Structure formats: C-alpha cells, structure tokens
C-alpha cells in the first residue's frame, strides 16, 4: 500500500511562504527583511490559489517564493544586520549605566559598514543588464538630488545624488549620447542611447519641494542606497571606456557658487592629456554605442573591402545608375499601409547641432536643463548672468560674439521698462537695458532648443520669437497612427471626404439662423417700441394732453366707423366668404407647386415662395452627397460581410468598429477645434 501524502507538504503550500514565516526563518527584524529584499531584488508573489498556499488560513497575508527565502539564508548581509543588532544592545546597555563616552566610542569604532558591491555583481552579471535597469535608478536619483535636506533625507545623501547625476551628465555631454527630450507636467524627460541601450529617465523641475508625512522615506532611502552604488559602478565603466579618469576632479568652491556642471574637470588617463583636449580627441564617430565593438570593427573592415574603388561620393554601377551617399527613404507600398520607420541622421550631424553658435541664457530661463542640452549637442560657448551661478562662457549680455539669446518674456514697450542703474560717476552701467534688443542677435524662446533636438535639425527661429504663439510641443516617442489626429500635419490631409463642405454648410446655416434671429429680435423690439408709444399716448389722453391730428383722434374715428358697421349687421357674412375663397386658392396653388416639384424630381419647400417667412434649407452639395452615398455603400458591404462571419468573429468586429468610431469622433472634434482657431486667426489677420 503506498504511503499517504501528508497535506501541506507539496504543491503551492510548499512553494510559497508567508512573510511572517520568512522573518522567523531568517531571524531578523521586519525592517531589515525589507531592506534585504530590496537589495537582492526579491518581491512578493501572488499564488494561484491563496487558500492552498496559506493552508486554509483565512487572514490576508503576503507570500514569497520559498526558494527565494532559502537563497537569502546564505547572504553575507545577514551577518551585518546581526552585528548591528548586537551593537545596538551594547550601546543601550552603556547608556543605561550612564557611560556616554563608551557608547559614543562603540558607535564610532564598531558600527558595521554595509557594502553592496557583491550584490551589484550578482544582480547584473553583464554591463548591458545594468544599463537596462538604469531608468528607475536615474529617475529616483534625480528626484532626491532636488529635494531639500530634512531629518528623513540627510544632506549627505542629497550631495551624493547630485554628484553622481552630474558625473553621468558629463559622460552624456562628452559622448554625445543624448537623443531626445520632452517637457511634460511631471518634469523633463530625457532619452540617451548608451552602447545600444535606450535609457529614459525623468528629471523634476527645480521648484521648492514640500516634504509630506505620508511618504515612507525609509524605504525610499533603501532604494537610494542601492541605486547610488549601481550608478557609481556604471559611471566608472562609462568613464574608463572613453579613457577618462574616474571620479573627475571636483571644485568645491565653484560648486558653492552654483557651478554645477562647471564644478567638474575631466581628465584623460594619458600623461599630459588635459581636459581641453578630451573633446577634441574623442570624436562622435569614435564613440561606439554598440555592445560589441569587436564585431563592429569586423563589419567595418568587410564594408571597406566591398566598397568600389574611387574617392568620389557618387559612383556608377554596371547598369549605368548612380549610387549616392544620401539616406534612403522608405515609402509604404499601399496607401492604407502602416508608416515605415525612416532612417535616422548620423551621430556627427546631430552632435554638432549648436556647435557654431554662442548662446546667452536670460535670467528667467531654466539654466540647468538648457546648459545640459546645449552642451550635449555641441555648443561650447554658453553665457548667462552672474546671478545664475559660476561656469559661464561670458556674463556680459552685450558681448558681440553672442549669436542667439534665449528669453522667456514677451516684448514690452519702452515706457514699461525699468531705468538702467547709474554708477557713482553718474554714467549708466555698461550692458544691455532690460527688455531691449541687440541688433544682429536672434532672440528665441526655450522651446526652440527642445524642438530642434527632437527634429534633428535647426528650425526657423522666427516661429519661436519672444511673445509669439508657440507651435505644439509634442512627445517625440508617440508614433502617429492612421485615423488619429496629427497636429503637425495640414488639416486638409486629415479630413475625410466631404467633411470641409459639410462644415461650411453647417456654418452657413448657423449664420443664416443667427441673422434671422437678429432680424426677429429687431422686429420684436420695434413692436415693443410701438406698444410703449401707444401706452404713452393713452396716458397722455387720460391726462387731457391731446394734439390735433394725432393718432388718438384717428383711432377714435376708426372706432366710430366700426360702431356704425356693427349696427349695420350686413358685412360679417361677406368677410367670412372671402376668407374661405382665399384659403381654397392657397391650397390650389400649394397642390400645383407640389406637382411641379414632383415632376422636376426636387423636394417641395412650402416656404420658398412665401413672403416674410423663413427661407428653406440649403440643398446639400455634390461632395456631401457623394460622401453620404459612399458611406452608405460601405455600411451595406460591411453588413454583407458580417452575415458570412461566425458569432464570435462578429462580436470582435463590432468591438473594433466601435473603437474605431470613437477614435474618429475624437479626431473630428479636435479637427473642428483647430478649424475654428484657424478661422479666428485668419479674421484677426485680415483686420
């Protein structure tokens, strides 16, 4: 007879373990268990059947894999946690005895130091694995670099985060690895390509941050402790791959004056290799963004062998066709096909985007992101006012070498500008008057820098002039799909067939209705004025103020005549007969008009020949008729196709049609808004 299997010893009951059981098995406290799980990358799991995993236990609990907890039994950090617990007992015992000096000596000399180097090597066996997990690390470190120092966030942590982030930005600047950036409500998004891996992170705006009490900074501090170690390893590997010394030299005096990026000095590993020669020696073409440089070298050698002889950029093939070095563009085979991804520009072109310019940042512009972006794309000469910090190319706004100035204020009249302060001698201080413009200099808004980077080329600066309405700032990571509204494309290319004519007809009908409503309002006002005049005349008559030949006398005469007719008693039947004859004549004419309209194949409009009545509706245009006919034919064809489908496929098709219809309605609403805005702008331009 086989042995009976005991309940709870196999299956999910064995594969999962509760958090309480894990803490007891590891013999550490709950906060230490949380720190250990964050360091090792172990997270709670959700079993398929909680009842079986909990062995019929009803309370809600957190589960972990049993193998993960067994893996933690051999972690060297456990011994550090136990040493720290033993030290805390010794310190509390010394304080209980009143031995404050011994307690301070124990805390200073015997505190265990946690090192996470072995954890980084275990979790990221290759450098590419570390780059793939760098998104969250950079977002968290840039967040803590902008936080104010409190009891929960010590200043040493903030300083370390700032230094690591600035070192990482220096690598992106010198390697030209930055690709795209986007301004959002949350902050500024950046994307860089490092050894073939795309890294995307978020940097918050430099506003005053308020620390709330509902955020557990102990857990976030644990993540920061791990991420700082990770980014330190990554920065070391990146710097050494370019032949640079890590860490770079740090100037504390410049950092205290707000130098930020300017407080670091990069140096090469070779003797006599200065920081000024680094960027000249490391060209963008020499920087490899591929994970395997040996493979890339072999590919380049094969490409050189396969190239035809000759130094000309354009060569002739055997068929007589010309081959050029221009970038090929891929076009869709069918009009309804998806948009094919186009080839990007080379790193040399984008890396030197702002190289030939000297750019000055006004005081109201965000200096830190603009400096980082401009330096990443080749600009070597960036100036700003001395109040923004140290490290500028020039602090003089009147410098003649400045070609572009970034401002974020509209153009003000001369009367609204403040006066220039004077020196002790009575002369005006040298420089540019606030709000004035230097001839020969291009003034632009900060969005120009972001749009040029995302477009990969220099855009027209007049569109981004101070005070001008800026174009929409769109995310560079959103790919436009067919049927969706594209704010960059012309409105005529996105409209469906007959949409513009329908909108024009609706606007014409609305305009006619408004005009008729205005005429009706005028008639009502005139009638009210006449009624008010009659009331005034009646009041005047009551007061004995009658004038000869006035309307009151005429009305009295009419009343007398009406009284005579009433006494005659002969006229009323004749008037009723005439009214019946008029109604019969109207009915006969209406019947004749209906017959004529039916013979001509047109709809009958009873008000088209009426006098003083509302005109009929405008006939639909040919484009609208064609669009309606085409839409009806497509619906009929779709219904015929649905008849041949199964019930399951028909439901899926109905869901697709519903979602497409909702998408088209949203796109049509956005197009109508844009159409109104363009019409208003055209009216203002004509005025």
| CA 42/CA 72 separation, integer angstroms | 9
- Residue carrying structure tokens 């966030």: 153
Q: Could you give the dihedral angle defined by the CA atoms of residues 578, 584, 585 and 591, in that order, rounded to the nearest 10 degrees?
A: 170
Per-residue confidence band for 675, with pLDDT thresholds at 50, 70 and 90:
confident
* pLDDT score, position 342: 56
| CA 448/CA 462 separation, integer angstroms | 10
Q: Which of 372, 371, 373 is nearest to 382 (CA)?
A: 371
| Residue 430, Ramachandran bin (φ over 0: left; ψ between -120 and 50: alpha; else beta) | beta
Cα three-residue angle 495-340-295, rounded to 5 degrees = 160
Q: Which of 415, 414, 286 is nearest to 348 (CA)?
A: 286
| CA 326/CA 523 separation, integer angstroms | 71
pLDDT digits (tens, 9 = 90+) for 214-253: 888 999 999 999 999 999 999 999 999 999 999 999 999 9
Compute the average pLDDT of residues 357-368. 93
* pLDDT score, position 572: 46
Which of 152-166, 302-316, 340-354 is the most confident on average? 152-166
* pLDDT score, position 565: 46
Percentage of the chain beyond pLDDT 90 is 36
β-strand 315-316 against 322-323: which pairing, if any? antiparallel
Judged against a pLDDT cut of 80, whether residue 279 lies above it is answered with no
| CA 529/CA 328 separation, integer angstroms | 76
Asked whether the beta carbons of 178 and 169 are under 8 A apart, the reply is no
Judged against a pLDDT cut of 70, whether residue 270 lies above it is answered with no
DSSP helix/strand/coil, 636: helix
Peptide bond into 672 cis (omega under 30): no
Which has more pLDDT, 204 or 565? 204
pLDDT digits (tens, 9 = 90+) for 110-151: 888 889 999 999 999 999 999 999 999 999 999 999 999 888
Please, is 342 exposed, middle or buried when counting C-beta atoms within 10 Å of its C-beta (0-12, 13-18, 19+)? exposed
* pLDDT score, position 315: 39
| CA 284/CA 267 separation, integer angstroms | 18
* pLDDT score, position 585: 79
Please, is 392 exposed, middle or buried when counting C-beta atoms within 10 Å of its C-beta (0-12, 13-18, 19+)? buried
Per-residue confidence band for 553, with pLDDT thresholds at 50, 70 and 90:
very low
| CA 19/CA 25 separation, integer angstroms | 10
Percentage of the chain beyond pLDDT 70 is 68
* pLDDT score, position 523: 56
Which has more pLDDT, 286 or 497? 497
Judged against a pLDDT cut of 90, whether residue 599 lies above it is answered with no
First and final CA of the chain: distance in angstroms? 101
DSSP per-residue letters across 477-544: TPPP-TTS--TTS-HHHHSPTTHHHHHHHHHHHHHHHHHHHHHHHHHHHHHHHHHHHHHHHHHHHHTT
* pLDDT score, position 678: 82
- Other CB atoms within a 10 A radius of the CB of residue 446 amount to 21
* pLDDT score, position 540: 47
Judged against a pLDDT cut of 80, whether residue 401 lies above it is answered with yes
Angle between helices 30-40 and 19-26 (to 10 degrees): 90
- Helix then strand then coil, in percent of the chain rounded to 5, is 55, 10, 40
Per-residue confidence band for 594, with pLDDT thresholds at 50, 70 and 90:
confident
Judged against a pLDDT cut of 70, whether residue 500 lies above it is answered with no
Judged against a pLDDT cut of 70, whether residue 468 lies above it is answered with yes
Judged against a pLDDT cut of 60, whether residue 526 lies above it is answered with no
| Structure-block tokens of residue 121 | 């090597």
Angle between helices 367-376 and 155-175 (to 10 degrees): 30
Mean confidence (pLDDT) of the chain: 77
Per-residue confidence band for 420, with pLDDT thresholds at 50, 70 and 90:
low
DSSP helix/strand/coil, 261: helix
Cα–Cα distances in Å, from 184 out to 187, 309, 461?
5, 51, 22
Which of 43-52, 280-289, 341-350 is the most confident on average? 43-52
Which of 315-319, 413-417, 484-488 is the most confident on average? 484-488
What are the residue boundaries of the structural domains of the chain, listed by start? Answer: 12-75, 117-286, 352-413+436-478, 634-686
Judged against a pLDDT cut of 50, whether residue 614 lies above it is answered with no
pLDDT digits (tens, 9 = 90+) for 309-325: 443 433 344 444 444 55
* pLDDT score, position 681: 82
Judged against a pLDDT cut of 50, whether residue 415 lies above it is answered with yes
* pLDDT score, position 39: 94
The CATH classification of domain 352-413+436-478, taken from the options 1.20.1050.10, 1.20.1740.10, 3.50.50.60, 3.40.50.10190 = 3.40.50.10190
Judged against a pLDDT cut of 90, whether residue 198 lies above it is answered with yes
Which of 318-322, 430-434, 660-664 is the most confident on average? 660-664
| Structure-block tokens of residue 253 | 């005096």
| CA 551/CA 530 separation, integer angstroms | 12
């Amino acid at each position: 007879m086989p042995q009976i299997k005991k309940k709870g010893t196999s299956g999910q009951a064995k594969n999962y373990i509760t958090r309480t059981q894990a803490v007891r098995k590891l013999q550490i406290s709950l906060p230490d268990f949380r720190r250990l799980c964050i360091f090792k990358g172990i997270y709670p799991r959700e079993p398929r059947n909680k009842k079986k995993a909990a062995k019929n236990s009803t309370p809600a609990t957190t589960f972990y894999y049993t193998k993960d907890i067994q893996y933690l039994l051999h972690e060297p950090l456990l011994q550090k946690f136990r040493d720290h617990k033993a030290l805390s007992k010794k310190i509390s015992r010394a304080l209980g005895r009143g031995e404050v000096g011994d307690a301070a000596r124990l805390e200073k000399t015997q505190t265990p130091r946690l090192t996470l180097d072995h954890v980084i090597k275990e979790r990221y066996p290759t450098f590419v694995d570390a780059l793939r997990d760098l998104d969250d690390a950079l977002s968290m470190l840039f967040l803590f670099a902008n936080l104010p120092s409190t009891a929960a966030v010590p200043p040493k942590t903030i300083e370390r985060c700032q230094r690591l982030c600035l070192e990482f930005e220096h690598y992106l600047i010198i390697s030209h690895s930055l690709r795209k950036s986007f301004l959002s409500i949350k902050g500024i998004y950046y994307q860089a390509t490092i050894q073939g891996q795309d890294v995307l992170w978020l940097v918050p705006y430099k506003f005053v941050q308020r620390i709330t009490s509902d955020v557990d900074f102990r857990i976030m501090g644990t993540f920061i402790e791990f991420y700082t170690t990770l980014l330190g390893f990554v920065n070391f590997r990146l710097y050494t791959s370019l032949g640079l010394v890590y860490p770079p030299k740090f100037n504390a005096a410049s950092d205290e004056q707000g130098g930020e990026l300017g407080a670091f000095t990069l140096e090469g590993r070779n003797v006599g290799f200065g920081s000024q020669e680094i960027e000249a020696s490391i060209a963008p073409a020499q920087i490899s963004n591929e994970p395997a440089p040996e493979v890339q070298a072999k590919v380049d050698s094969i490409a050189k062998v396969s190239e035809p002889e000759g130094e000309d950029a354009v060569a002739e093939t055997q068929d007589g066709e010309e081959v050029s070095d221009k970038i090929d563009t891929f076009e869709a085979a069918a009009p309804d096909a998806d948009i094919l991804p186009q080839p990007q520009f080379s790193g040399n072109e984008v890396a030197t985007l702002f190289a030939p310019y000297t750019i000055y940042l006004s005081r109201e512009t965000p200096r830190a992101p603009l400096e980082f972006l401009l330096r990443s794309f080749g600009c070597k000469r960036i100036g700003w006012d001395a109040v923004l910090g140290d490290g500028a190319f020039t602090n003089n706004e009147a410098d003649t070498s400045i070609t572009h100035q970034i401002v974020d204020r509209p153009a003000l009249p001369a009367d609204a500008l403040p006066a220039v302060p004077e020196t002790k001698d009575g002369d005006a201080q040298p420089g540019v008057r606030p709000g004035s413009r230097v001839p020969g200099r291009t003034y632009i808004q900060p969005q120009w820098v972001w749009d040029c980077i995302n477009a990969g080329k220099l855009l027209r600066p007049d569109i981004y002039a101070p005070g001008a309405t800026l174009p929409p700032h769109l995310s560079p990571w959103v790919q436009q799909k067919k049927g969706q509204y594209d704010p960059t494309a012309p409105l005529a290319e996105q409209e469906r067939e007959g949409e513009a004519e329908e909108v024009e007809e609706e606007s014409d009908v609305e305009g006619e209705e408004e005009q008729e409503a205005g005429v009706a309002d005028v008639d009502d006002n005139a009638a009210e004025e006449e009624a008010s005049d009659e009331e005034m005349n009646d009041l005047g008559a009551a007061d004995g103020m009658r004038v000869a030949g006035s309307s009151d006398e005429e009305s009295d005469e009419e009343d007398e005549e009406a009284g005579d007719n009433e006494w005659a008693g002969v006229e009323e039947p004749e008037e009723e007969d005439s009214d019946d004859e008029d109604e019969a004549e109207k009915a006969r004419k209406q019947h004749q008009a209906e017959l004529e309209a039916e013979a001509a194949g047109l709809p009958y409009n009873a008000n088209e020949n009426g006098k003083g009545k509302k005109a009929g509706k405008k006939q639909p245009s040919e484009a609208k008729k064609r669009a309606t006919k085409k839409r009806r034919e497509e619906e009929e064809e779709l219904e015929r196709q649905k008849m041949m489908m199964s019930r399951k496929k028909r439901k899926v098709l109905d869901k697709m049609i519903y979602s497409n219809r909702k998408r088209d309605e949203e796109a049509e609403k956005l197009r109508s808004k844009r159409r109104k805005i363009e019409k208003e702008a055209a009216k203002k331009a004509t005025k």
